[in-house]
Chains A and B, each alone.
Chain A
Amino acid sequence: EAQVTQNPRYLITVTGKKLTVTCSQNMNHEYMSWYRQDPGLGLRQIYYSMNVEVTDKGDVPEGYKVSRKEKRNFPLILESPSPNQTSLYFCASTKDGRYDYGYTFGSGTRLTVV
C-alpha cells in the first residue's frame, strides 16, 4: 500500500530534550515536506526537500532541523524542544514536486512539550 509512515504517533517530552520524528514513504516520491497544524492557524510548512540532499526552509522553520540522506526518509529533528512546539505534525510527499498531483500525508504525530 502506498503510504507515508510517521513515528511516533504520540509523544510527550520535556523542554530541551532532543527528539526525532521519523517519516518514510514507499512511493519513490522526490518531494517531501513537514507541516505543523495548530487550531486557528491551519497547516504551516516547516521544511521541505525537493530531492536527496536538497532541503529548504518553509514558513516556520525556527527550532527545527531536517535531513534527506535517502529518498524515502525525511526525519524532523527538534534539538531543544520548547512548549510552543506542542502541535500536530504531518509529513507529506508528492511525485516530482508537483502539487497538482496532490500530497500524500502521513497520519500525524501529536507532540506535547511540557
Chain B
Amino acid sequence: QKEVEQDPGPLSVPEGAIVSLNCTYSNSAFQYFMWYRQYSRKGPELLMYTYSSGNKEDGRFTAQVDKSSKYISLFIRDSQPSDSATYLCAMVYDKIIFGKGTRLHILP
C-alpha cells in the first residue's frame, strides 16, 4: 500500500460548483497535512496546512483532516476558472511526502 494515494483526475466541474479533492494515507505517524496548488509551468505553492483533525477554512478553501480514517480533503467553494490547476496533498512526519496530484479543470 502506498503511503499517500491521490486520484490523478482530471476532474472537470462547472464554474461555481463545490469541488472536493481527497487523499488517503496509510502511515499514522503523519503529523502535518498540507495542500499545494500547481499551475501549469509553475512550481507548487502552499495553499493550506493543518496539524489536527477537523476543519480549517481560508476564504473559499476548506481543509479537512480525519485522522481516524486517514483521509484528508480540500473543498473549494464557488469554484472559478482561475482555480484550474493541479492540487497536491502533502504529509509530514520526519519527511514530507507528496501525493501525485489531482488535475482540476473549472469550466466557464
Contacts of B99 in A (CB 8 A): 42
Report A4-17 CB contacts with B as 1/0, cut-off 8 Å. 10000000000000
Which residues, 88 to 109 on A, are CB-close (under 8 Å) to B?
90, 92, 99-100, 102-108
Query: CB < 8 Å: which of B32, B43, B49, B95 contacts A92?
Result: B43
Task: Indicate whether B100 reaches chain A with its CB closer than 8 angstroms.
Answer: yes
- Chain A interface size band reads 10 to 19
| Chain B nearest CB, measured from A92 CB (Å) | 7
B100 near A107: Cβ-Cβ < 8 Å: no
CA distance A94 to B36 in the complex (A): 14
Which residues, 30 to 68 on A, are CB-close (under 8 Å) to B?
40-43, 45
When C-beta atoms are compared, the residue in chain A nearest to B44 turns out to be A105
The number of residues on chain B lying at the interface, defined by a beta carbon within 8 Å of a beta carbon of chain A, is: 21
Contacts of B41 in A (CB 8 A): 107-108
Query: CB < 8 Å: which of B42, B49, B90, B92 contacts A108?
Result: B42
CA distance A100 to B46 in the complex (A): 10
Query: A interface vs B, CB < 8 Å?
Result: 4, 40-43, 45, 90, 92, 99-100, 102-108
